[in-house]
Homo-oligomer: A and B are copies of this chain.
Amino acid sequence: MMTLRQLRYLAAIAETRHFGRAAALCHVTQPALSMQLQELEHMLGCRLVERRRNAVDLTAEGQEVAQRAAAILAAVADLEDYARREKPPLIGVLRLGIIPSIAPYLLPRALPLLHDRFPQLDLRIRETQTAPLVEELIRGDLDLIVAALPIDRPELETLNAFEDRFLVARQTRAGARADARMEPAALASEHLLLLEEGHCLRDQALSVCGALSSNIHMAFGASSLSTVMHLVANGYGITLLPEMAADMERTDRVELIRFTDPEPVRTIGIAWRRSSSRRSDAAALAKVLLDARA
A46 touches B1 (CB 8 A): no
Q: A52 CA to B53 CA in the complex, in Å?
A: 60
**A interface, how many residues as a size bin?**
35 or more
A174 to chain B, nearest CB (A): 58
Within 8 A of B (CB), among A47-102: 47, 50-55, 57, 59-61, 64-65, 68-69, 71-72, 75-76, 78-80, 82-84, 87, 91-93
Report the copy number of this chain in the oligomer: 2
B52 touches A273 (CB 8 A): yes
A47 to chain B, nearest CB (A): 5
Chain B residues in 8 Å Cβ range of A64: 82
The 9 residue pairs across chains A and B that have the minimum distance between CB atoms: A44-B83, A68-B79, A59-B277, A47-B277, A72-B75, A50-B275, A45-B84, A4-B4, A50-B276
* Chain A contact residues, CB within 8 Å of chain B: 1-5, 43-47, 50-55, 57, 59-61, 64-65, 68-69, 71-72, 75-76, 78-80, 82-84, 87, 91-93, 138-140, 155, 273, 275-277
